[in-house]
Amino acid sequence: MMISVENIEKKYGEVKALRGVSLDVKEGELFGLIGPDGAGKTSLIRILVTLLKPDAGSATVNQLDVVDDFRKLRKQLGYMPGRFSLYPDLSVEENMNFFATVFGTTIEENYDLVKDIYQQIEPFKERLAGRLSGGMKQKLALSCALIHAPKVLILDEPTTGVDAVSRKEFWEMLKRLQKMGITIFVSTPYMDEANLCDRVALIQDGNILTIDTPEKVTQSFAHKLWAIRSDNMYLCIHHLREHPEAESVFGFGEYLHVTWKNQEMQAEEMMNYLTGLGHTNVEVKETEPGIEDVFMDLMQKHDS
Ligand SMILES: Nc1ncnc2c1ncn2[C@@H]1O[C@H](COP(=O)(O)OP(=O)(O)OP(=O)(O)O)[C@@H](O)[C@H]1O
């Protein structure tokens, strides 16, 4: 295993950020830690990159203990924090040189690894990092995290606040790095990014809800799922939740995702129910569950 986490707990005063988290990441894997704000992603990542000590449990990265072997480990991992740790008053090139020097290397020495990414920002190498666009800052931060040729790359919400095009480009860069043999552990609040990972762990309130491939996670959804809409979505949620057979009703984009206690429930019955309550342009269709649906389902089960 490249990363091994066993029963990690972390508290801040009364706040339990991690409640016994365990997971393994295989060598060469692209592993996603998916969860909403405050789920505990940053706490787990800071423990893995040796910046925070767990209260209980243990973790190793590349067989090195995150507490006992922290010095050795720091040399072997690349870390991209959520808020980029760039120096805004240094230029692009100066930032790269700085990170290279800290790790006792040079840009030239590991240029092959960063070339692909760095070339995209090289035309702006004289520019101060603070003046780069979000997408370019992200590329520079990634180049800096890679400059010492780490075996493992750990990224905390690298795509948060980044536009859709840059997000896509960023994941393509991660895939290319994976092909070069780097193990990647990445956290994200964006459920759609789950499908780009080999395996994912869903985390909520300091607990891991499930760990599997994205396909298996969505296949685990055991209900028939319906997408429903009408002209008045607000009332539609309200009316559907009032139905005695309704199990869950959530808004997803322009539709509501609905499951019923009775799996035999027919579209016509739902249609009649809503039109009977005065809804117009009612649409009802069966739909395939996504990671979001599984997340909602597991969260409800965990809370109850
Ligand atoms: N230094 C701290 N002091 C007190 N509470 C903290 C501290 N750091 C985190 N927390 C709390 O611990 C919980 C987990 O936080 P964490 O930052 O690990 O989650 P996250 O999933 O990374 O969320 P975010 O995307 O908001 O960073 C949250 O309730 C948070 O408010």
The domain 222-288 having CATH identifier 3.30.470.20: the answer here is no
CATH code given to domain 3-213: 3.40.50.300
Q: What is the pLDDT of residue 300?
A: 81
Q: How far apart are CA 221 and CA 288, in angstroms?
A: 10
Q: Where are the domains of the chain?
A: 3-213, 222-288
Q: How many CA atoms lie within 13 A of 94 on its CB side?
A: 11
- What confidence tens digit (pLDDT) does each residue in 37-71 have? 999 999 999 999 999 999 999 999 999 999 999 99
Higher pLDDT among residues 5 and 148, named by residue: 5
**Ligand 1: nearest atom to the Cα of 39:** 21
pLDDT higher than threshold 70 for residue 84: no
Q: How far apart are CA 150 and CA 146, in angstroms?
A: 6
What is the distance between the alpha carbons of residues 304 and 296, in angstroms, rounded to a whole number?
12
Mean pLDDT of all residues belonging to the chain? 93
Query: In angstroms, rounded to a whole number, what is the distance separating the alpha carbons of residues 91 and 290?
Result: 42
Q: Using one digit for the tens of pLDDT, what is the confidence trace for 248-279?
A: 999 988 999 999 999 999 999 999 999 999 99
Among 14, 16, 41, 202, name the best residue to mutate to test ligand 1's pocket (greatest count of ligand atoms within 8 A of Cβ): 41
Ligand 1, atom 11, residue with closest C-alpha: 17
* Measured distance CA(259)–CA(55) in Å, rounded: 40
Q: What is the model's pLDDT at position 270? A: 96
Distances (CA, A) of 132 to 91, 138, 167, 287: 10, 9, 16, 42
- pTM (2 d.p.): 0.90
Phi/psi for 276 (5° steps) reads: -60, -25
Residue ID of nearest Cα to ligand 1 atom 18 = 40
Among protein residues, the one whose CA lies closest to atom 30 of ligand 1: 38
Which ipTM was obtained for this model? 0.93
pLDDT tens digit string along 119-176?
989 999 999 999 988 888 889 999 999 998 999 999 999 988 788 888 898 999 999 9
Is the distance from the beta carbon of residue 40 to the nearest atom of ligand 1 less than 6 Å?
yes
